Structure 1
């Protein structure tokens, strides 16, 4: 196994998580300060979802033309430019376009990076090494809001730090090998529908986690502010959710190498349902802090286990295709989650965010109790 390449790809994806973690909450807090409501902020949060769908459509074709490693480097540099422009052009309509660009560019990075990692790892270590990827990515997102809290939200330092990280990250991929080969194809929604029918539980879980992550980085700070907390406490709560996501991914991945992965999947779905329902009840008590941890861990566990199960089945071009479908589902979740939660928060209930996650987790639990939730096993 190419350990140096594994850690280089890991570090490049980690830089993306840190760049997003330090810049995306600043976008929402800046819009809140400009007087925009929850729905307008939700629209901004959902904008990258359109970019995700476009990025998923073109990722494999561009990788076949340029090569996986070279394309990843180009996309990281383009992401740096896009985040830097957020600081230079402080305008709601312009930011909508930039968020769309960021969605396209970084989706290609995630598709190729996750495919590269799943291609490299050996089967007996798959659970732990894929979980290490999920853990480090979550830690990078955790560090983002913490770093933003230290830098302050009154200036544009968060944008410039994010841009700087993405400028340096491509250098880590120079000379690396072992990337999956990709054919020139364009995934369609018909292909996505067939993927969802073959692996319905994984498809639902990926879309649910995408909605979770989009809302945590963009709407959760606003949710906490509206519930009476200061900006510093709101960012700390966001970080606590990501702590749960990060710290428990490695234990979940280790268990996935020894225990039935479907049982772990169901356990995470049940915990996500329970914690989502508990948040409105415990929000103003000390118990909310451990509940944030459980909330993040259970949601992150679903995504980590989804990647592990996909890595069991596919290699090379089929693996890139599967991760392109994961990106499509990610775009759908990022689009629907913030829009519904933002509209619900403004016009229905202030607790729409956790209640929406509870509804999604309940749907997943019901799906998991049915036959064929994971299709027919086809080990690679």
Structure 2
């Protein structure tokens, strides 16, 4: 991200690229030899560590809030409606956070958003009433989405083309690890009392503190120009489709994969482990996928991930009949290929766009993720009601099959006056 208001123009370092894209230059950069410049790995580690700490709080909060509401004996409708405030907040962040960043500055926005998320969680810890939880959960979703928008844009500004896929893979791996540690922390603290809330609040405060301490080392955004999110959407429809497709996959598997396994003879505990294995593929395989995206044409890697995920959905029917080991092996690889489309999309975003357009693109990715997530549950639920277990397979295979078709026939990005040349 680029600079804070007053001192940006004078700083000189990392001025936003505004020239038209040069596909030949971008291709050469990705295939550069050992002498190619490397990103500042200290900055990469700083941003990814901050995101990982933040993700612990996010991974803890969703199951925690659901369990608290259930213990308070609210109806399923109220619990579900309250949970919907989070994705609505995420969608809202995509529309308002870019303007906030360019008005207040990148690091101030990131620190403020982390503090707002902590305050929202603290409010829900103190007051167990729905009329407070509804707006608080909306604000929590908005702050979470905004923090991720800023950090994804930061990473893409720090990365250089020859390493961008690996940097995005590292980001995905750390994010997945943080999400996994959240429920683990909840298992240690339990859902009752103030302790689980305190863990989440401390993680959010730690993310804010790390960002504030190292703010001067982070990239900055120009505040002189702003690219509306609506103007970015036609520039990268396939990348946005990739992000939305994974969000659909994520929500569909979280909601319906455990029931799918239990109907095929597995215990609830086994399928809970299965979800962890599904996420484990993201932790261990995203860096290799990012490496492939740096070494091979991005379109080919994206197409391969889409095809592998569609095939994995079909093979799930076979694996579930072959025992727990085969099922877990499939889930491990399946989860990695499913998220791999987002890793490749993020790398391509950073290669093609810079400055205000990169910020708008990061926000558009969050918007696409929110839309895909909101469609995932209802669409899959309707398919399962109609076709039984086959409904889950049809939705996931169809979604990734359609994505593969788009990747094959539509350009990943279109030319933009704000595209980068590095």
> Shorter chain as normaliser: what TM range?
0.7 to 0.9
Whichever of the two has the greater Rg, that structure is: 2
Which is further off, 260-269 or 78-87?
A: 78-87
Higher mean C-alpha displacement, 354-363 vs 99-108: 354-363
Q: For 1:282-361, what aligned pairs fall within 5 Å after superposition?
A: 282-283=319-320, 285-286=323-324, 287-342=326-381, 344=383, 349=388, 352-361=391-400
1:98 aligns with 2:136: yes
1:42, 1:219 within 8 Å by CA — same for their partners in 2? no
Distance 1:230 1:163 in 2: 33
SS at match of 2:295: coil
Alignment of 1:107 onto 2:148: no
Q: In the alignment, what sits opposite 1:274?
A: 311
Relative to structure 1, the CA distance from residue 124 to residue 55 in structure 2 (aligned partners, 3 Å threshold; closer, same or farther) is same
Residue 222 of structure 1 deviates from its aligned partner by 6.8
Q: How does 1:191-202 map to 2 (within 5 A)?
A: 191=231, 195=233, 197-202=234-239
Give the Cα–Cα distance (whole angstroms) in 1 for the partners of residues 168 and 162 of structure 2.
Answer: 11
The answer on whether the counterparts of 1:208 and 1:360 sit within 8 Å (CA) in structure 2 is: yes
Go from structure 1 to structure 2 and tell me whether the alpha carbon gap of 1:170 and 1:152 turns closer, same or farther (over 3 Å shift).
Answer: same
The farther-off stretch of 346-355 and 276-285 is 346-355
Q: Which moved more, 1:93-102 or 1:320-329?
A: 93-102
CA contact (8 A) 2:238 2:410 kept: no
CA RMSD of aligned residues (A): 3.1
CA spacing shift, 1:234–1:165, aligned 2, 3 Å: farther
Taking structure 2 as the reference length, the TM-score comes to 0.78
Counterpart for residue 178 of structure 1: 218
Contact in 1 for aligned 2:262/2:268 (Cα 8 Å): yes
Report the secondary structure of 2:411's partner residue. coil
Check 1:298–1:218 CA distance in 2 against 1; reply closer, same or farther (3 A cut).
same
Contact between 1:53 and 1:328, CA under 8 Å: does it hold in 2?
yes
1:160 corresponding residue in structure 2: 198
Contact 1:48 1:331 in 2 (8 A): no
Pair 292,89 (structure 1): closer, same or farther in 2 beyond 3 Å? farther
Q: TM-score, normalised by structure 1?
A: 0.86
Alpha-carbon distance in structure 2 between the residues aligned to 1:355 and 1:341: 9
Q: CA deviation at 1:36?
A: 5.2
Query: Superposition pairs for residues 165-244 of structure 1, below 5 Å?
Result: 165-173=203-211, 174-176=213-215, 177-183=217-223, 185=226, 187=228, 190-191=230-231, 195=233, 197-216=234-253, 232-244=269-281
Quote the residue 1:260 is aligned against. 297
The answer to whether the Cα contact below 8 Å between 1:42 and 1:341 also exists between their aligned partners in 2 is no
Is residue 69 from structure 1 mapped to residue 110 from structure 2 by the alignment?
no
8 Å contact kept, 1:273–1:362: yes
Q: How many residues align?
A: 375
CA drift of 1:217 comes to 5.3
1:310 CA displacement: 0.4
Q: CA deviation at 1:227?
A: 7.0
The worse-fitting range, judged by mean Cα deviation, of 54-63 and 88-97 is: 88-97
